Structure 1
Amino acid sequence: MTSLRTAPADAGSTPRHTGMILAIVLVSYFMIVLDNSIIFTGLPQIRAELQLSPAGLAWAQNAYTLVFGGLLLLGARTGDLLGRRRVFSVGLVVFGVASLLVGTAPNGAWIIAARALQGIGAAIVAPTSLALLTSSFPAGPERTRATAAYGTTAGLGASLGLVVGGALASWVSWRAGFFINVPIALVMLLLALRYLPATRPASGRFDLVGAFASTLGMGAFVYGIIQGGERGWGDPLTIWPIVVGVLVIALFVVDQRRAAQPIMPLRLFASAERSGAAVARLLFAGTMIAFFFFTTQFFQEVYGWTPLQAGLGFLPMTVVQFAVSLLVPTLSRRIGGAPLIGAGLGLVLAGMIWISLISADVPFVVGVVGPLVLLGAGQGLTFGPLTSAGVAGALPEDAGAASGLVNTAHQLGSTLGVAVLTAVAAGASTPTQRVVDAYRGGAVMLAVAVVVVLVAVIPAQIRARRATAES
């Protein structure tokens, strides 16, 4: 990653260094993934300072992931049509400005709106960065290593965000975790303008109906789930948003079938490997983001830890995840990515079941460290191969859409995970029982993800390997 090597240029671009491209992509993606979790260790401070209700606190997180996920497909299409370097640079500007606004938030409405604006910037940067990566590295070992690094960044960004957020919340303020994005975004912008290849804009148009329908549909659906935890499942403010969300999502699918240039070509789902990877990623990401959301609160509310201690509590998971992820490229070449996904999800499921046995009387070393090690090992095995499976076999003209689908599954999973498990845990009588209920719900989601991998992803990769060997 640190060595610079010249790669063939795209039409209309100059020779470029793939090492620097990879560095820009990974750092920028790390920054936006970091903001999925950097807020978690500061949640108690944010709730007290801005006087947020439990639902408002959930929306401080969901506003980011919802808009991020809802606009990802449009962001991917925008990069294809207007040029990826140009769009990537605009996304960095939007994300940097929004981070500044989050850091200066005086009330709940402000922080939710600013987090939504952050989501817009992230929705531009994420799919464009993955599309730049796949177009800069030829298919084969180089691209496998690059996508493995990209996938690993997703996991490490989420877990390290807890450490960074905890340290800053304890030593400075929860706001500092967002202020640091401003100089990072500025530096990445300058490097992007210098090193990223300029691509010629493609002919075509935006599917604005599809973008609007996907965002509105998921927004209404998630809003209904959050209200279910607050008001009960029979309340009209729970039922009607869910109904509207389902109907609008159905309209989105119809629009994508009929649109001349859809933002999410339905042919992407013709591959069992890509479809299975998308579903597994949605469930996996949803479980893990919700795990961070609830565990940081458990550490602070039950164990009485400071935000810094809560962030450092995740270090066993982070260290193991990083170490295991270094082995993934070699293991992928030897046994394939799908077995790693299955084994990784199995380890995460075992860790989630184990930690669901936690109670207020069980010390951290006895009840938490072991599950965190399993969770870290499982994430290290899963993220990279799951990313590769999500774009496997996509046609060149679908590179942006496939990249958008991978990130959409991740971000919408993150949104739904927090929303669903918040609702699952809403009836708990104690903080500890609330966390345990969420863990049990997450274990069910992970079990479904394991089944999807066993039924769809692994058989598809076996068929693909056989076809390659016979050709």
Structure 2
Amino acid sequence: MSAPVLEPRAARPAAAPPPRPGSARPSRSGAAGAVEPGRPRRGPRRALALAVIASCNAMIQLDDAVVNIALPGMRADLGLTPVGSSWVLNAYLLAFGGLLLLGGRAGDVLGRRKVFLTGVALFTAGAAARAAAPGVEVLTAVRIVQGVGAALAAPSGLALLLSTFEEGAPRKRAIAVCTAVGAVSTAGGLLLAGTLSSLSGWRWELLLNVPLGVLVLALGPFVIAETRRNPGRFDLAGALLSALGATALVHGLARAAEEGAGDARALGSVACGVLLLALFAGVERRAAHPVVAPVLFRDRARVLSYAATLAVPGSVMGAYFFLNQYFQQQAGYGPLGAALALTPLAATMALTAGAAVRLERHLGPRHLMATGAALLLTGNLWLSRLPDAAPADAASAVPYWTGVLPPLLLLGAGMACCVIPPTVLATSGLRGGEAGAASSVLNAVQTLGGSLGLAVLVAVASRAGMTAGFTAGAACAGAALLAALLIGRRPGRTGEGGA
């Protein structure tokens, strides 16, 4: 849920017109959420609102760890074929990635709290139902329901965070909290899922994030203030093109990760997705009520923050994907041992998130993001020294404490430094009707970056081995570093509080 010392200034209109009935009142800086009516004003209530939003973020991030560890048990008990197993993962990913842009627009038009809670309810119901699924058909259907719920909840949750915390230090700290909670949920999810899978089976494991969903639904209506609706109609043509285009693109990239980059269906799906998204961009320029306002892409810092968000997932994807196999197939670890060995990455990210906010105040987002990307680059190059084949004897194996743990710590710290700056830059200087759209674009780019990164890394590793896969991860980090360096210095707002 990812500034020079100061943030970029939004363009100031010559004279701000009075707000229309039903529209959000702009802040002094022109930001959507700085003083939007209805946001919680008391400290304790704002803290509870942040806890609810962060819990939703944790619930969604925890799901990936839960499903991946439960998948072997599902295959055995339900008789899943390789195709059926892939659909358990891809059905959710396609619904989530395909509907993110529409989910953000729905929050702007219908009310962000309403859409947020609706998404959480769908996600939680799907998570509970999958634990009782009798076969692959029901399992795939409830995974689609979960994807729809996540597409509604994720962008609306980030938009609610923007409307609850004003720009500057309060918002940066809130983003850091969500980042830390998400990292802790990933680490804890790996350990809990591995333990439950060993003790009581995969069905109980799939219920792990249900209590978080119930907690959000119970507290959300009381601690999160509803935002004012932004009047307007849904752009049906744009919504359809964006959903189909994003779905085709994500499907093609997911298939490329499984079948190889040269797979004809994968290439055709990617080409179709690119074409549909190009048509979507043309439709949005002429639409009266676009799904995504083209004005979001006129700010250089925001566009470069989207580029960095696209590149960063590929720089850490290899650690989870390749190292899980390395630990179990070459180092002789069991599932729980592999989860424990990977935990320092997420733990370091959680512990570093708060320090990243303070560093951002002194370094600015450009230099903090560049520092984080450099750490990711170094960590991937370090891991590229791991052998592709199992050693001939235990004495020649790479020691975990000196050969694996240090780069994992670098990757965790690098991720913490690379999440906060792009999120701040992508969501700064927004007007009342733009927060949901900006949030959905940020989430969509992050999802696309994960699919693209995995496809590239797997395609490279399948031809040249794990070492080359980590080198490709280093290239992703290099792309994020370039995007960070291209963000120019801008004058910041006066009166911004320190972190």
TM-score (norm 1): 0.87
Correspondences of 1:41-440 after superposition (within 5 Å) = 41-52=69-80, 57-228=85-256, 236-359=264-387, 360-361=390-391, 362-427=398-463, 433=465, 435-440=466-471
Q: CA deviation at 1:293?
A: 3.0
Distance of 2:258 and 2:167 partners within structure 1: 48
Letter in 2 for 1:442: G
Structure 1: which amino acid aligns with 2:425? A
Quote the residue 2:484 is aligned against: 453
Tell me how far apart the structure 2 counterparts of residues 198 and 121 of structure 1 sit (CA, whole Å).
Answer: 19
Cα distance in 1, alignment partners of residues 386 and 137 from structure 2: 35
Equivalent residue, structure 2, for 1:4: none
Change (3 A) 1:112 1:300: farther
Find the counterpart in structure 2 of residue 464 from structure 1: 491
Structure 1 214/288 Cα, relative in aligned 2: closer, same or farther at 3 Å? farther
Change (3 A) 1:187 1:358: same
Is contact 1:76–1:403 with CA below 8 Å preserved after alignment?
A: yes
The alpha carbon displacement at 1:201 in A equals 2.8
Preserved CA contact (<8 Å) 2:314 2:457: no
Q: Which moved more, 1:196-205 or 1:289-298?
A: 289-298
Is 1:70–1:211's contact at 8 Å kept on the other side of the alignment?
Answer: no
Amino acid across the alignment from 1:296: N
Which residue pairs with 2:20 in the alignment?
none
Residues in 2 aligned to 1:108 and 1:425: alpha-carbon distance in whole angstroms: 30
CA distance in 2, matches of 1:19, 1:364: 39
Equivalent position SS for 2:457? helix
Distance between the aligned counterparts of 1:41 and 1:368, measured in 2? 22
- Tell me by how many angstroms 1:177 deviates: 3.5
Distance 1:383 1:14, change over 3 A: closer
Summarize the Cα distance change of 1:40–1:440 in structure 2 as closer, same or farther, 3 Å threshold: farther
Q: Which residue of 2 aligns with 1:32?
A: 60
Q: Which has the larger radius of gyration?
A: 2
Residues 8, 15 of structure 1: 8 Å contact kept: no
CA distance in 1, matches of 2:358, 2:233: 41
Is the deviation greater in 109-118 or in 394-403? 109-118
C-alpha RMSD of the superposition: 2.7
Residue 19 (structure 1) shift: 1.0
Aligned residue among 472, 480, 489 for 1:441: 472
- What secondary structure, in the 3-state scheme, does the structure 1 residue paired with 2:202 have? coil
Instruction: Call closer, same or farther: CA 1:23–1:253 in 2, change over 3 Å.
Output: same
1:182-210 C-alpha deviation (Å, 9 max, x unpaired): 22211210101122113343311112322
- Cα distance, 1:276–1:330 mapped onto 2, change above 3 Å: same
Q: Comparing both structures, which one devotes a greater share of its residues to helix? A: 1
SS of structure 2 residue aligned to 1:314: helix
Letter in 2 for 1:176: W
1:274-317 deviation line (CA, Å, top 9, x unaligned): 11111111211244245323332332233332222121112222
Q: Shift in Å at residue 351 of structure 1?
A: 0.6
**Residue 62 and residue 347 in structure 1: after superposition, are their counterparts in 2 closer, same or farther (change >3 A)?**
farther
Shift in Å, 1:374: 0.9
> What secondary structure does 1:397 align onto?
coil
Distance (whole Å) between structure 1 residues aligned to residue 321 and residue 199 of structure 2: 21
Match of 2:354, as an amino acid? L
| Aligned partners of 2:256 and 2:455 also within 8 Å | no
Provide the rounded CA distance (Å) in 2 between the counterparts of 1:384 and 1:12.
26
State the Cα deviation string for residues 366-405 of structure 1 (Å, max 9, x = none). 4211211111111122222221122122223211111112
- Residue identity opposite 1:74 in structure 2: L
Amino acid paired to 2:161? L
Residues 339 and 309 from structure 1, CA distance in 2 versus in 1: closer, same or farther, beyond 3 angstroms?
A: same
Structure with more contact order per residue of length (Cα contacts < 8 Å, sep ≥ 6) = 2
Q: Distance in 1 between matches of 2:280 and 2:37?
A: 34
Task: Kindly indicate whether the alpha-carbon contact (under 8 Å) linking 2:184 and 2:347 is maintained by their aligned counterparts in 1.
Answer: no
Tell me which amino acid in the other structure corresponds to 2:426: G
Task: Determine the C-alpha separation between the residues in 2 that align with 1:147 and 1:106.
Answer: 39
- 8 Å contact 1:66–1:415 — kept in the other structure? no
Alpha-carbon distance, 1:327 to partner? 0.9
Per-residue deviation, 1:226? 4.3
Residues 1:233 and 1:386: Cα distance change in structure 2 (over 3 Å): closer
